[in-house]
Amino acid sequence: MNTLLEIILKAAVITLVALTGFAYLTLLERKFISRLQARYGPNRVGPFGLLQPAAEALKLIVKESIMPDKADRPMFFLAPIMAVVPALAIFAVVPFGKGPVLQLASNVNVGMLYVAAVIGTAVYGVAIAGWASNNKYASLGGLRAAAQVVSYELALGLSMVTVVLLASSASLAEIVQAQQPGNILGWNIFKLPVGFVAASIFAMTSLAELARAPYDLVEAEQELTAGYITEYSGMKFALFFMSEYIKMIALSALFATFFLGGWSGPFVNSLASPFGEILSLVYFIIKVLACLLLMVLVRATLPRLRYDKLMAFGWKMLLPVSLLNVVVTALMIVLGIF
Residue 203, pLDDT score: 93
- 105: how many CB neighbours lie within 10 A of its CB? 16
Residue 1, pLDDT score: 46
Residue 161, pLDDT score: 93
- Residues 295, 207: Cα–Cα separation, whole Å: 8
Instruction: Label residue 117 left, alpha or beta by phi (over 0 means left) and psi (-120 to 50 means alpha).
Output: alpha
Residue 106, pLDDT score: 59
pLDDT (tens digit, 0 to 9) for every residue of the chain, 338 residues total? 457 777 788 788 888 888 888 888 989 999 999 988 888 888 888 888 889 988 888 888 888 878 888 888 888 888 888 888 888 889 888 888 887 777 766 577 888 889 988 988 878 888 888 888 888 888 887 888 888 888 898 899 999 999 999 998 888 888 998 887 767 888 999 988 999 999 999 999 998 888 787 888 776 655 556 677 888 888 888 888 888 899 999 999 999 999 998 888 888 887 777 888 889 899 999 999 999 999 999 988 888 888 888 889 989 999 999 999 999 999 999 988 87
Residue 226, pLDDT score: 65
* CA angle in degrees (0–180, nearest 5) for 185-205-330: 50
**CA-closest candidate to residue 124, choices 70, 87, 69:** 87
- Taking CA atoms, 333 is separated from 84, 111, 200, 205, 337, in Å, by 38, 22, 20, 25, 6
**Helical segments of the chain, H only:** 2-36, 52-62, 73-89, 100-103, 111-132, 136-167, 172-177, 194-210, 221-224, 234-259, 275-301, 307-312, 319-334
Phi, psi of 111 (to 5 degrees): -55, -40
